[in-house]
Amino acid sequence: MGETDVTTDATGPWLIVGLGNPGPEYAMNRHNVGFMVADLLAGRIGGKFKRADKAQAQVIEGRIGPPGPANRRVILAKPMSYMNLSGGPVTALRDFYKVPTGNIVAVHDELDIDYGVLRLKLGGGDNGHNGLKSMTKAMGADYHRVRFGIGRPPGRMQVADFVLKDFASAERKELDYFVDRAADAVEALVIEGLERAQGTYNS
């Protein structure tokens, strides 16, 4: 896979990856919250996802941030490989767009955080998340994560069943707000840097 470039390059392109599973049957699953955030960011950029010739993914190229030095070029992506194979498409996009690994942001669901709570970090383990596991195997762990809390399954429900179920009706009442806040956190991370974004969003 080559050596991992862990340098964050403020002037270089950023690759923002929403993790999920393709197909309408998965669209509202807890495991697909990364896709939900990516779709919202796409609306903000003002583009539509298109199939990437260079990877098994849908992508949008655009810019975020105010005019001037804080403006950032971004590639917004949704892997179409299914969650547990996300590393292949992400690595292909990284190589094609020449994005340093430190400029990659994975947006994903997180079991060990309460519903709607965000945590931003650089590097670390995968905590059993198959999308992160695949990405880390493909290119190392030194990419950013925007972790969207979904909480733990109730009772004896298996984790696999829990993440592949739609958000509960009570959760859906606040879902749009939390997805919007997660999109804000992604933008803050890319424009302002990890430390400032953590100060605002690591509630």
Cβ contacts of 124 within 8 Å, gap of 6 or more: 141, 145
30 to 26, 152, 179: CA distances (angstroms):
9, 11, 12
Q: Are 198 and 120 in contact (CB under 8 A)?
A: yes
Query: Which residue is catalytic, options 31, 108, 129, 144?
Result: 31
Burial degree of 51 (CB within 10 A; 0-12, 13-18, 19+): exposed
- The reply to whether 31 belongs to the active site is yes
- For residue 152, give both structure tokens: 């733990």
Active site residues: 31
